[in-house]
Chains A and B, each alone.
Chain A
């Protein structure tokens, strides 16, 4: 099998980035009028739309928890989002797993005790994917939750890092992801530096993990700055509207 050169002799990656360079992130909040909060996030060519409905009355009475809100994450991948068209059923194990990861990374951050007996729905729609779907989804969900005004202790920022040939690289794209690289996704609370999610599914030498963790942590901080700027701009815009 012919392998793709992932790293040029000069140390540049397939898309011309340096190893510790993120792709361009564009984010917008309040994109949907129907939802209580929404966000659209582009991470390079990965495009994700997030909508938050709630806190609202829990749909099933059996699910109600009397002293806090439950978080529900639904995940939808557009069939045309990948290179190969593949229909993923609603009960696809992989999707359910991802949804559960996202749910669990937000549970400690959202102050659920403020909304007893209710439910917060986070709906995610992946429109186009080019690597790093989980990180993009988590970042988009954070933005949508903030836009919905759900109380949270901190942002949740996620970033991936992987070992591309001989170098630790950040924010892998689809080509790098799919050619046998080991990849770590971590979600971090930038203020405290705590990690709410760390996930790796391939082989990696223990000595190399440290480097990846630091790199992904740096990435999370950078992503936080980008997201925070969007949120602040939006808040200023709203404040100005209120003042008039």
Chain B
């Protein structure tokens, strides 16, 4: 075999190796999801969603867990979205190019690399004991909001940066102030990117276990938080913010760490639902990104 043939053969061999590595990685994802669904199948029914945790594996469900997760995500979104978008707008539209801005930027990058359990310790020391939030939904939601803040900021900045300069300049030429340019033109144009970043952030937050274990999520809860809706004026109550909680990943962790194999089935069922939700949110974000990229051509 000549030199050229040998080199070309190496090319083909690498294509096979590369494809194999890719397929192996994706096969893991597929096998994982399939295994969770198959193992958890006996427990995947309506009763699983409407029962509380129980000592008996066959009667246990995830009612408290999914309600807790939904409320925590609500708090996380309400804190992370305004804070993250505002910080990103400041950095892209307002910030002067100086050392002070550089410090903020380095901090955002740095926060993205801090392990999630450190956020849990921060929240335990700060939110739970110093701010007196207690081991509550409010503390959990705020913690996860801090955790996804860098994701929201980076996504928003990219979306805002993609708005063409002439749009801003046209608005300035008509006498708009900087905030008017931002609020009336830049933000509406970049809403798709902001939304995508928010969904990616929430899909990360929904599966985070370590930080909310650290602040003291309970793994056995047989009641729901106070209802956010009341029959009397003003029809809304925020008492649930201070309630103790459990969440989907906590419930799954609790079940997976029990030696009883029947609880393993519950863990698989909870995992299938949790993974399904994460993949759905990511899929939605990818689809949104794809759509916005295709439709917008100014």
Instruction: Please determine whether chains A and B interact with each other in the same assembly.
Output: no
